[in-house]
Structure 1
Amino acid sequence: MNTAALDLFQQLLRRALATPPAETRRLLHGRGRCWPGLEHLAVDWLEGVLQVQVFRPPADLQALCDRCRALATEQPAVKAVWLQQRYLPGSPGLWLLGEPRTQWQASENGLRYHLLLGHAQNNGLFLDMRTGRQWVREHVHGKRVLNLFAYTCAFSVCAIAGGAAQVVNLDMSRAALARGRDNHRLNGHALDRVRFLGHELFKSWGKVARGGPYDLVIIDPPTFQKGSFVLTQDYRKVLRKLPTLLAPGGDVLACVNDPALGAGFIIGCMAAEAPALQFVERLENPPEFPDCEPDGGLKVLRFHWGNTAVGPCIAAAQP
């Protein structure tokens, strides 16, 4: 980052922090490549904590840290600044201001989530999925939901808040599912309508199927998970199982967050592996996640098993 990029960084964040968001939001999405020189930066507002994520080694780390401190001292609402070096193994970070915090809480659309800072690459809540979580909350009343690759169960929290009859969460990380339980408890949810399966998906189809059939299946996998999931190889295997998991008339939210794969990848895989499911729409990403290429950011596509006509968005969704 040169001086001009640092000036732009400071200008954009000063504008965003003039009136800090009431809830957790992304303030700067440099990875959308809309601001030259900031392509490897992302800044999130964690309701008092400013989280700065750096995805490639900056030319002058000290200069970036100095700009972050200067911004924070201008804004009384900023209590701490956490700069995370995502380009290093383990994604370590530096507390540039305030007391180090390993645990924090985030709010989104009135729901609360536990965050862990400084423990791992991700803090527990993917902010670009906000509209996806809200869609689930608005469309699951009385329905049975399967949440694959559940991580910390944010979709599950939204589903129960929306009146889902039951949610089954599956993730191979039992620690992540334990945080999911805590997220439900944080929102005052009884757990009698929520199940947590700490298993590797491809060895657990029988257990997953016994909880169905489901009215909604959410598929939000990692791009790569060593020893268990490679998106380009394994996504099709998941889609192939949908007819045995989904109730007729049900919906699927199929997600991909790999800039190299467009929405057409999901549509093509679904057509080949589960042709009874018809593409309906692509959910819009939150406006604070602009991208210079429409297919560069998160893709959240809804498919329906029924007579729903193919939605008008299909042309835009294809690469």
Structure 2
Amino acid sequence: MAPSLVDTLRASRDRRGSLLSDARTTAFRVLNGEADGVPDVTADVFEGLYVISLYRDFTPPEEEALLDAAVAAWAPRSVYLKRRPREARVLANVAKESLAPELPARGEAVESLTAKENGLSFLIRPAQGLSVGLYLDMRDTRAWLQERVSGLTVLNLFSYTCAFGVVATASGAKRALNIDASRRVLEWGEENARLNGQPVDRYDYVAGDVFDWLKRLAKKGETFDVVIADPPSFSTTRTARFSAARDYARLADAAARVVSPGGRLVACCNHAGLPSRRFETMVAEGVALAGRKGRAMGSLGPSALDFPAPPGEEAALKVHVVELR
């Protein structure tokens, strides 16, 4: 007999093994779609609060059945629901409140909470929109950074709430400069820094177009030992549009120009439609356009423990590290 949805959700969470008992990490993925037996659905947990994302249009009865099963399987403090239509044009025509309701689908309303990852604290706001403050698939990449940046300078591009900057500072980096188009998320990043007892210098939280700032930094001859480029798959600013599948070589070119000799470019892309081999080729093209020589240092990605990929498929997130000369 096929397992019930409750059994499937319970088993999925149980497969997270060591994460369930790690007091230093209280934020991770408990359900990763088809790989865990529930296509088109993911669920992340933050200190007992669950965020469920739907990647197709579910009927109201389907949603209710899923939510009831989640409550039965996980006994959550709260469940917040995010509806994520695949096409941008759909997104533009649907009210934000429908996509990311401010009130929980189950349990108590929670304005904010603090979750931990590898011993560091991050502010989570489950009602803020589709993104709640921390991208969990980057945990292993942040752990990689933790071990390598003592005494170094770090540039965190498309920084969002500055998790890489917090990790760099906590790990002894000489400086971590965060750049993002949104002042609001940078202020959230400042809150994350303070949560971890870190001083906040406004000069290290820069709002503006990343390409513009990379040009300015290159013109001034500023370089960094580690440059992290983690752009959205698609973005639009007042002056430009960016598509990772089309424009990543241009980003790698601009970023490579501000990497110190012997430094590293950490190129990230979370676009399922861009194969890893093509992505690595685009990064190499960009490095060459910048007039730099690069040596591939390997690839990182999401933890297989809580972000398993379906059989025969690669993970959407790709992280390619290149040392530049």
**Both structures adopt the same fold (TM-score exceeding 0.5):** yes
Structure 2 vs 1, CA of residues 190 and 81 (structure 1 numbering), >3 Å: closer, same or farther? same
258-267 or 189-198, which moves further after superposition? 189-198
Between the two proteins, the alignment pairs up a number of residues equal to 297
1:260 is aligned to 273
1:65 is aligned to 67
1:204 is aligned to 213
Q: Decide which of 91, 109, 114 is 2:123's aligned counterpart.
A: 114
Q: Quick one: distance in 1 between partners of 2:143 and 2:202?
A: 19
User: Residue 79 in 1 paired to residue 96 in 2?
Assistant: no
2:88 is aligned to none
1:310 is aligned to none
1:237 Cα deviation after fit: 1.5
User: Residue 144 in 1 paired to residue 153 in 2?
Assistant: yes
Is the 1:145–1:167 Cα contact (8 Å) retained in structure 2? yes
Any stretches of 5+ residues in structure 1 without a counterpart?
Answer: 307-319
1:226 is aligned to 236
Q: 3-state DSSP class of the match of 1:139?
A: coil
1:41 Cα deviation after fit: 0.8
1:92 is aligned to 100
Is the 1:144–1:164 Cα contact (8 Å) retained in structure 2? yes
Is the 1:149–1:171 Cα contact (8 Å) retained in structure 2? yes
- Alignment RMSD: 2.4
User: Residue 15 in 1 paired to residue 28 in 2?
Assistant: no
Q: Quick one: distance in 2 between partners of 1:300 and 1:294?
A: 16
1:221 Cα deviation after fit: 0.5
User: Residue 185 in 1 paired to residue 194 in 2?
Assistant: yes
Q: Quick one: distance in 1 between partners of 2:274 and 2:51?
A: 27
Structure 2 vs 1, CA of residues 158 and 211 (structure 1 numbering), >3 Å: closer, same or farther? farther
1:46-79, Cα deviation, whole Å (9 max, x unpaired): 112122222212242221122123234xx4xx32
- What amino acid does structure 2 have at the position aligned with 1:245? V
138-147 or 58-67, which moves further after superposition? 58-67
- What amino acid does structure 2 have at the position aligned with 1:230? S
1:122 Cα deviation after fit: 0.5
Q: Quick one: distance in 2 between partners of 1:211 and 1:46?
A: 41
195-204 or 87-96, which moves further after superposition? 87-96
User: Residue 288 in 1 paired to residue 291 in 2?
Assistant: no
Question: When the two structures are superposed, what TM-score results if normalisation uses the length of structure 1?
Answer: 0.85
Quick one: percent identity of the two aligned structures? 31
